[in-house]
Chains A and B, each alone.
Chain A
Amino acid sequence: MNAEASAPARSDRPVEARGLVKRYGHLLAVDNVDLTVEPGDVYGYLGPNGAGKTTSLRMLLGLIRPTSGTAQLFGRDPVILGRRALQGVAGFVEAPQFYPYLSGRKNLELCAAYDGGDARTLVAEMLETVDLADRGGDKVGNYSHGMKQRLGIAAALLRRPRLLLLDEPNTGLDPAGMRDMKILVRRLSAEGITVMLSSHQMTDVEELCNRVAIINRGRILYEGAVTELKRSLGTWYRLRASDLAQALRLAEGFDLGDVAVEGDELRFSGDEAVVEQFMIALGRHDVGVRALVPQQATLEQVFFELTESDGAAAAEPAPVLEPVT
């Protein structure tokens, strides 16, 4: 139903933004943003409130014009091609909105008609998918925020997209709703749909996304694989031992970093081989090892590390950590 033969695909890359800038008067909402989403990615777009996530997504969907720079979806620029650039693309920014005086079903029928199809059966299927089949006849004005959010997903899926752009899809959902959303994103990804989502739920992003971009104050601080990002903060260890003072003294003889006592634990970082030698030394000096727990930074920790250090050095240029693309 979305076949628009007049707009042939020119690139397989679902999203390619280069040097995107959006300025509102004196406010620089988006500052020279580059984004690359590859086919099959579940791509997380992270940033504090007001960082420029939604503005970027609006530019990708052609809802606002960039002050400068380009955004292309499958090689097509929405500024130049208008709705033809959205072939195979669906999604929403901020809370999805519908006509409050029409039923959920009628709103979806309108969306389907605007996509060029008579999609009555598809509408029913989508209402089932988002668990709104029994409320489809109710006016949207009577829907809760979560129900509108699910209707937004249904409206997006009506387009049978190859790229789904979701802005804070979990906003307003209860825990069960969030779980269902996660399951849905996983399922869509397994079906081959590329997903780009902005979110505040770090654990969800960590769980769902293979690649992320972190934006703060309109600038991209990092773009790349989640695993690479977490590795950039390294691995550290927590050690519980029979004689912590002796362990601390012995640690000084090894190439370990950030050695510190925290409560009844010794914390340090270092290569696996060095840590192995340190453990042997502890045994030789009759220090009993009760527990050695390797720790890796969570996405949340990395996020705060990046955004808060960026905030502290707001006047300086943004440090971009080894982009993977």
Chain B
Amino acid sequence: MKYLVTDDSKLARLSLIKSLKAHVEDAEIFQATNGAEAVELVKSEKPDIAFLDLTMPVMDGYEALPLMLEAHQKLKVIVVSADIQERAKTMVIELGAQLHVQKPINADKMQEILELI
């Protein structure tokens, strides 16, 4: 399976990738540091699952999410964000995300995510 991890923070990307590797062997993982890079990687690599932050420079997650789904309709997007306001959760689901998950992600939370999708 191919995974795309998008976050402007190196810490957030490393933390998420470590949790992912704890559950998935042979994962092919791509990294993006903003929404614009994520859209390009979705177009070129066609990942199966994308983890997407919301608050990022250049292009935020709200803008990137529909563009990513437009580029690859089978993509499953998991929004991973510190923004836990109800409206933020509703907005990303309406934009097509499968899940909204609160940061930070640990191995237990990753297991729950992978079971849900």
Partners in one complex: no
Interface residues of chain B, those whose CB is within 8 Å of chain A, are none
